[in-house]
Amino acid sequence: MSPTWYAWIEQGRDISVSSAALARMADAMQLTPAERSYLFQLTRKRDPSEPPAVREEEGEPSRILQDAVNAMTAPAYLLDRLWRVRAWNPPAARLFADWLGGDEPCLLAYVFLNQSARKFILDWKDRARRLVAEFRADSARNPDDPALRALVDRLRTGNRDFAAFWSDHAVLAREGGARGFNHPRDGMLYYEQATLSPAGQPDYKLVMLLPSPDSRTET
């Protein structure tokens, strides 16, 4: 397999390749689960090692999802396929007042186009780079989505950091982990993030921020 062929795969070109050949390549390159998923999504092939999935249209978030967000005592919110917030609870409204209280529902647009996000999010550059890699892996399921392309174009035009991170072609699974924020009212806050994909509506993500054991508040 030539370097040009690999480049065509990365560019999402319509090339003739079997699922079995892709699986052998993924095994040989020891791809991570996120990278392997991204490879098959780019080529619009099904990974033979995974059972076929039944997906539904995104539609509106179900009432049970919205109720689940409201039932949580920790900050929680719901993202759609374009990472636009669709529901959130009062603790999230307080934590993310600048984002959820504004006019921009998209998490990526807030992170990259709102200057206050750089001070609010601890280790902004590392977190922002990871978000782009996670979004690339997540959005590869629908590479021809015009709304997705419009969002990426807007962010690439509006922020040089996003453009550079997007050009890296890195892919990562959206996972939890430590999160830190410099809150304008509550001081330094630390959480452990958990992200879940609801059954029946896989285009949504339920994000919860649980207080870290090392959490402290400075006023």
**Where are the domains positioned within the chain?**
3-42, 63-211
First to last CA, the chain: 59
Q: In the predicted model, is pLDDT for residue 71 greater than 80? A: yes
pLDDT tens track for 4-48: 556 656 555 555 667 787 788 888 878 887 778 777 777 666 677
Q: What is the amino acid identity at position 188? A: M
Q: What is the amino acid identity at position 139? A: S
d(CA 128, CA 119) in angstroms, rounded, equals 12
pLDDT tens track for 123-171: 999 999 999 999 998 887 777 789 999 999 999 999 999 999 999 988 8
* Architecture in CATH for domain 63-211: 2-Layer Sandwich (3.30)
The pLDDT of residue 53 is 41
Q: Is 0.85 topped by the overall pTM?
A: no
Q: Nearest 5 degrees, angle CA 192-CA 55-CA 70?
A: 40
